[in-house]
């Protein structure tokens, strides 16, 4: 049986009725099967899919209809205009996390240039934060940790594919496996910060993402508490930490960060006006 691109898309849209982005999903999956761009679909709507293409398309649609995230189905998500491989062992990079990269780069001008700049990205997942920063700052020495060996495999693959050589990936629970002698100018993290009973965990893509990258205890702050306290011991004097937090956590986080001993503390808002990440300074 042969079916045109146009008809395949129409069928798919009917099948995916539940998805919030139905036609885009149908198009992205078809592009993936055909290995073509979206403009190809609209230029050649009458072109026929061969049997194998149609069968693969059906199977991707079935996965999507069952809720699987598009990023996991196609195995990739763009972040900082770079393609990142992702799978079920890594969080799917979010656009708002690009703001954290932006802040890290801006802070760069405050970091002393006397000696090498040492940066660490804790809980790196696909490596999207560490590798995006590394791409912009090839002379920074960046380490990136994750407790998941499977996630690190993905991150290393991404580093190779992007040709980025200034990130060292280390399997570690926070700072545990790191040489205690290394002090950092900058600590970066997108830690888990969702409360364990949050309804959010039962909706959309999040259901398929690794719990260890999302959930952090009853109030969602377990990981941030560890991160903030341990980082203070690992930062150089006048070093900075930047970490992402949950949409309603800024008030609690400011107390936590202040009590830990940081002095300048600020939050960066995302486009929705939500305090998305915290920036804090270790006193000199």
Residues in contact with ligand GLN, counted by CB under 6 A, come to a total of: 9
| Sign for the pseudo-dihedral over CA of 141, 144, 145, 149 | negative
Residue 94 binds ligand GLN (CB under 6 A): yes
Q: Is 214 in the site for ligand GLN (CB under 6 A)?
A: yes
**Closest listed residue to residue 162, CA positions, set 130, 188, 139, 186:** 130
Distance CA 4, CA 2 (A): 7
Among 127, 244, 260, 281, binds ligand GLN (CB under 6 A): 244
206 interacts with ligand GLN by CB under 6 A: yes
Is 128 an interacting residue with respect to ligand GLN (CB under 6 A)?
no
Shortest CB 228 distance to ligand GLN, Å: 15
190: contact with ligand GLN by CB under 6 A: yes
Give the DSSP per-residue string, 172-235: -STTTTS-TT--EEEEEE----B-TT-GGGGSGGGGGS-GGGTB-STTS-HHHHHHHHHHHHHE
Provide the token pair at 163: 């040709």
Nearest approach, Cβ of 195 to ligand GLN (angstroms)?
10
Closest of 162, 107, 173 to residue 140, by C-alpha: 107
Among residues 157 and 208, whose Cβ is nearest to ligand GLN? 208
From the CB of 115, what's the least distance to ligand GLN, in Å? 31
When asked if residue 93 is in the footprint of ligand GLN (CB under 6 A), the reply is no
By beta-carbon proximity to ligand GLN, the closer residue of 43 and 203 is 203
Closest CA to 112 of 273, 284, 257, 260: 284
Q: Return residues touching ligand GLN (CB under 6 A).
A: 91, 94, 190, 192-194, 206, 214, 244
């Amino acid at each position: 049986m042969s079916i045109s691109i146009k008809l395949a898309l129409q069928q798919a849209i009917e099948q995916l009725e539940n998805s919030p982005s139905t036609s885009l999903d149908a198009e992205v999956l078809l592009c993936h099967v055909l290995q073509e761009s979206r403009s190809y679909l609209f230029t050649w709507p009458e072109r026929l899919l061969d049997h194998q293409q149609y069968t693969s398309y059906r199977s991707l649609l079935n996965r999507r209809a069952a809720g699987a995230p598009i990023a996991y189905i196609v195995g990739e998500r763009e972040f900082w205009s770079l393609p990142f491989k992702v799978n079920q062992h890594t969080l799917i990079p979010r656009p708002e996390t690009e703001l954290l990269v932006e802040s890290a780069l801006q802070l760069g001008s405050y970091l002393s240039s006397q000696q090498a700049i040492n940066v660490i990205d804790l809980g790196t997942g696909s490596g999207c934060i560490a590798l995006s920063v590394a791409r912009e700052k090839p002379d920074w020495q960046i380490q990136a940790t994750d407790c998941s060996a499977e996630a690190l495999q993905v991150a290393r693959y991404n580093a190779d594919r992007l040709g980025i050589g200034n990130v060292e990936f280390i399997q570690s629970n926070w700072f545990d496996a790191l040489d205690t002698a290394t002090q950092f100018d900058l600590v970066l993290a997108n830690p888990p910060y969702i409360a364990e009973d949050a309804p959010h965990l039962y909706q959309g893509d999040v259901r398929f993402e690794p719990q260890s990258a999302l959930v952090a205890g009853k109030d969602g702050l377990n990981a941030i508490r560890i991160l903030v306290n341990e980082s203070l011991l690992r930062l150089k004097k006048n070093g900075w930490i930047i970490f992402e937090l949950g949409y309603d956590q800024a008030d609690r986080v400011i107390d936590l960060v202040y009590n830990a001993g940081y002095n300048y503390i600020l939050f960066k808002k995302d486009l929705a006006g939500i305090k998305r990440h915290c920036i804090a300074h270790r006193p000199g």
